[in-house]
Amino acid sequence: MVNRSERGSIAIDVISFILLVLLIAVGIFAGISFKDKNHYKNDVNQIVASAVNTAKQQQMTTDQAAFAVQSKLPYKTFTGPVALGSISFRYPKSWSAYVDQTSSDQPIEGYFYPGTVPGLTSGTAYALRVELVSDDYTTVIQNITSQGQSGSLKAAAYLPPKMKKVANVQPGTLFTGAIAQDSQGNNLNGEMLVIRVRDKTLEISTQSNNFISDFNNTVLANLTFQP
């Protein structure tokens, strides 16, 4: 028979065991909580760092885009001789121009490019190419069409916005795709407008898709001439 003293001792042992178990459990829980807290803290720090980096990259992209736009303003204006139809258009001030007006067969031959205009044999796709030729409009269109590879050139009627209310102006043809070849025979992809200017034909183009926006929104948007 267990006496009162022995029962008390057993009770104390049970309580001690329970307390020990609880203490171990609390220790484990505290360790897990501490570990989770550190993981959470590290995750938060990584998330914050990633968000800050993303914001910086977005701001940098925005700043670069704004700078690129500002560097083009105010636009420069090209104006050809009155005797050749007073061809006029705007282009970014960050572009340089080389324009030859000494040939009777090609009275205006211009090359435009950001910074310095590369040489003719450099293989460069020019931001803007301007040619006023003495060939008939129909002949020029036929030559371009015959030289274009199958499926590489699309054509559509086009009239510059500022010429829509001018009398005696006929729509030209806007070519899109492989509009020309460089000095090495490689295709140059871009856009080219071919349009009549009096008894001559104007060919104005961008030879790279990188300049399509400038070509459409600045050059063609402000193109004028006397028909």
Q: What is the pLDDT of residue 149?
A: 57
**Which of 112, 144, 134 is CA-nearest to residue 197?**
134
For residue 223, pLDDT beyond 80: yes
How much is the pLDDT for 3? 57
Residue whose entry in the numeric block shows the structure tokens 């040619």: 131
Nearest to 226 by CA among 207, 198, 205: 198
pLDDT over 70 for what percent of the chain? 78
Which residues, at least 6 apart from 72, have a Cβ–Cβ distance to it below 8 Å? 92, 93, 94, 214, 218
Q: pLDDT tens-digit profile of 141-158?
A: 999 988 765 568 999 999
pLDDT(61) > 60:
no
pLDDT of residue 195: 98
The span from the CA of 192 to the CA of 208, in Å, is 11
What pLDDT is stored for residue 13 in this prediction? 64
Is pLDDT above 80 for 82? yes
Q: Residue 45's pLDDT is what? A: 73
Q: What percent of the chain clears pLDDT 90, i.e. is strictly above it?
A: 58
- What is the per-residue pLDDT for 102? 93
Segment 163-197, tens digit of pLDDT: 999 999 999 999 999 998 887 888 999 999 999 99
Q: Average pLDDT of 220-225?
A: 98
- pTM comes to 0.72
